[in-house]
């Protein structure tokens, strides 16, 4: 038991260190002028990509617990979700603050003209609400409403993928340009959402138990004499 606890502690530390690594690399590249000719755009893209990856990993924790039997994965979900919010917040700041200087006369026309903001801003608002209520005191005060609120992460994940798809310049029908990013994100996050559908969940669990049954029978069967 102590070995398992120690093993999970190492995994938890590895997750925290890996989550901070992209930000450390980004700051190092910024200090050393390694962020291309448009550093704000490069930093915005990097933080956005990292936020999506961490959001996907957070969504993967529940299926890992349910289907793979790794119950400790649930304990990593909140940390990964908060790190996803952190990178999304930096991503938002770089766009609104570093790029537009918090000046509404520039931000409002951009919002009206760029459709990707129509998906990105609601997604960030959802992440803000979930991050603010991700602590135990919020769970106690909100009761059943806490689960209802945190189900909006599914809508947020869909909006994030849509935001990425709209911001990428490319030809989706010919898979030209950088469309592989939203394409992969849609497959991964879409799959993580599909396995949460109750009917799909029951079917996958039934298949899991069906596959485990012969193995358990053979393990418990007496050894036949040669």
Domain ranges within the chain, ordered by starting residue = 2-209
159, 127 contact by CB (below 8 A): no
67, 205 contact by CB (below 8 A): yes
Give the C-alpha separation, 86 to 189, whole Å: 19
User: What is the reported pLDDT for 217?
Assistant: 45
> CB atoms < 10 A from the CB of 221, how many?
8
pLDDT in tens, the chain (226 residues): 665 667 778 999 999 999 999 999 999 999 999 998 999 999 999 999 999 999 999 999 999 999 999 999 999 999 999 999 999 999 999 999 998 888 988 889 988 888 899 999 999 999 999 999 999 999 999 999 999 999 999 999 999 999 999 988 654 544 555 688 899 999 999 999 999 999 999 999 998 888 766 544 444 333 333 3
Give the C-alpha separation, 29 to 43, whole Å: 9
Summarised one tens digit per residue, pLDDT across range 73-85 is: 999 999 999 999 9
User: What is the reported pLDDT for 170?
Assistant: 53
Summarised one tens digit per residue, pLDDT across range 109-127 is: 988 888 899 999 999 999 9
> By three-state DSSP, how is residue 44 classified?
helix
Residue 184 tokens read as: 């992969």
């Amino acid at each position: 038991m102590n070995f398992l606890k120690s093993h999970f502690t190492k995994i938890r530390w590895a997750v925290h260190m890996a989550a901070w690594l992209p930000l450390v690399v980004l700051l190092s590249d910024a200090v050393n002028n390694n962020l291309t000719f448009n550093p704000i755009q490069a930093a915005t893209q990097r933080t956005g990509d990292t936020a999506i990856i961490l959001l996907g990993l957070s969504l993967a924790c529940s299926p890992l617990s349910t289907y793979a039997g790794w119950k400790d994965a649930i304990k990593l979900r909140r940390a990964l979700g908060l790190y996803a919010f952190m990178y999304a917040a930096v991503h938002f700041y770089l766009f609104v603050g570093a790029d537009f200087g918090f000046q509404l006369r520039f931000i409002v026309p951009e919002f009206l003209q760029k459709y990707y903001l129509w998906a990105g801003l609601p997604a960030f608002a959802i992440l803000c609400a979930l991050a603010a209520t991700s602590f135990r005191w919020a769970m106690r005060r909100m009761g059943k409403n806490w689960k209802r609120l945190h189900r909006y992460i599914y809508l947020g994940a869909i909006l994030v993928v849509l935001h990425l798809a709209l911001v990428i310049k490319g030809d989706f029908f010919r898979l030209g340009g950088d469309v592989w990013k939203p394409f992969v994100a849609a497959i991964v996050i879409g799959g993580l959402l599909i396995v949460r559908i109750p009917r799909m969940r029951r079917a996958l669990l039934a298949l899991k138990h069906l596959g485990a049954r012969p193995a358990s029978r053979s393990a418990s069967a007496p050894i036949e004499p040669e």
